[in-house]
Structure 1
Amino acid sequence: MPYVFVGSVIVGPLLGEDAVFGSLTAQLAAFAVGLPLAAITALFPLTRPMSVAAVRALCDVPGESLADGPARSRTARGRTVTWFTLHLGFGGIISGMSLALPPFAGVLIALPFAAALRGSRVGMPEVFGEGWLLALSPVIGFASLVALAGCAAGAGTLLARWAPELLGPTPADRLAAAEQRAADLAVRNRLARELHDSVGHALSAVTLQASAARRVLDKDPEFVREALTAIEETTRRTVGELDAVLGVLREGDQTAPTAPAPTLAADLDGLLKRTRAGGLRVRSAVELGPQGPDALPPMVSREAYRIVQESLSNALRHAGPDATAALRIALDGTDLEILAQNPLPATGAASRRGGGHGLRGITDRARLLGGTAEAGPVDGTWRLRVRLPLKGPHDHDHDPKKPQKPQKPQKPKESA
Structure 2
Amino acid sequence: MTPLLGWLVGRCARLRWLHLIVGGALLMPYFLVGTVVVGLYAPGTNPFTSLSAQLSSFAYALPMAAVTALLPTARLLSVAAARALCGLPSDRPLADGPAASRQARARTAAWFTLHVGLGGIISGMTLALVPFAGYVMALPFVPALRGSAAGDLRPALDHAWVLALAPPAGAAMLVALAGCAAAAGALLANRAPVLLGPAPEDRLAAAERRAAELAVRNRLARELHDSVGHALSAVTLQAGAARRVLDRDPEFARQALTAIEETTRRTVGELDVVLGLLRQGTDGSDGLAGPGLDALGGLLARCGVPVRYTADGDPGAVPGPVSAEAYRIVQEGLSNALRHGVPGSPVRLRVGVGPRELTVVLDSALSPRPPVARPGGGRGLTGIAERALLLGGATGAGPRDDGVWRLAARLPLGPAKEPR
Question: Equivalents in 1 of 2:241, 2:384: separation in Å?
Answer: 28
Deviation sequence 1:88-114 (CA, Å, 0-9, x none): 110110010111123333444555777
**Amino acid of the structure 2 residue aligned with 1:218:** D
Counterpart check, 1:273 vs 2:297: no
Instruction: For residue 212 of structure 1, report the CA deviation from its aligned partner.
Output: 2.1
- Helix, strand or coil at the partner of 1:247: helix
Q: Which moved more, 1:241-250 or 1:216-225?
A: 216-225
Residue-pair matches, total: 385
Shift of 1:6: 5.7
Question: Secondary structure of the equivalent of 2:369?
Answer: coil
After TM superposition, list the pairs within 5 Å mapping 1:335-374 onto structure 2.
Answer: 335-349=357-371, 356-374=378-396
Output aligned runs, 1:132-171, within 5 Å: 135=162, 138=166, 141-171=170-200
Residue 290 of structure 2: SS of its match in structure 1?
coil
Aligned-partner Cα distance in 2 for 1:168–1:382: 54
Shift of 1:194: 0.1
TM-score (structure 2 length as normaliser)? 0.81
Alignment correspondent of 1:241:
270
Letter in 1 for 2:312: E
The aligned residue for residue 287 of structure 1 is 312
> Which residue in 2 is equivalent to 1:28?
55
Q: Offset at 1:130?
A: 9.4
Structure 1 residues 126 and 341, CA, compared in 2 at 3 Å: closer, same or farther? Answer: same
What is the CA-CA distance between 1:156 and the residue it aligns to? 1.2
Determine the structure 2 residue equivalent to 1:375: 397
| 1:11-410 alignment runs, 5 A limit | 11-12=35-36, 14=40, 15-16=42-43, 20-65=47-92, 66-109=94-137, 121-123=148-150, 125=152, 129=156, 135=162, 138=166, 141-254=170-283, 259-264=288-293, 266-275=294-303, 278=304, 280-288=305-313, 292-331=314-353, 334-349=356-371, 356-378=378-400, 379-393=402-416
Inter-partner Cα distance in structure 2 for 1:63 and 1:69: 18
CA distance in 2, matches of 1:141, 1:37: 36
Amino acid at match of 1:38: A
User: Partners in 1 of 2:409 and 2:26 — Cα distance?
Assistant: 68
Q: Secondary structure at the match of 1:272?
A: helix
2:277–2:287: 8 Å Cα contact kept in structure 1?
no
Aligned with 1:248: secondary structure?
helix
Q: Helix, strand or coil for the counterpart of 1:96?
A: helix
Residue 411 of structure 1 is matched in structure 2 by none
Contact 1:8–1:20 (8 Å) recurs in 2? no
8 Å contact from structure 1 (residues 52, 167) kept in 2: yes
Question: Identity of counterpart residues, as a percentage?
Answer: 58
Q: Is the 8 A contact 2:95 2:196 kept in 1?
A: yes
Cα distance, 1:226 vs. partner? 2.6
- For residues 194-246 of structure 1, what are the alpha-carbon distances to aligned partners after superposition, in whole Å with 9 as ceiling and x for unaligned? 00000011111112222222222233333333322222221111111111111
Moved more, 50-59 or 125-134: 125-134
Give the TM-score normalised by the residue count of structure 1: 0.81
Q: 1:218 to 1:145 in 2, by over 3 A?
A: closer
**Mapped contact 2:224–2:274 kept (Cα < 8 A):** yes
RMSD between aligned residues: 3.2
Runs of 5+ consecutive residues of structure 2 not aligned to the other structure: 1-24
Alpha-carbon shift at residue 269 of structure 1 (Å): 1.2
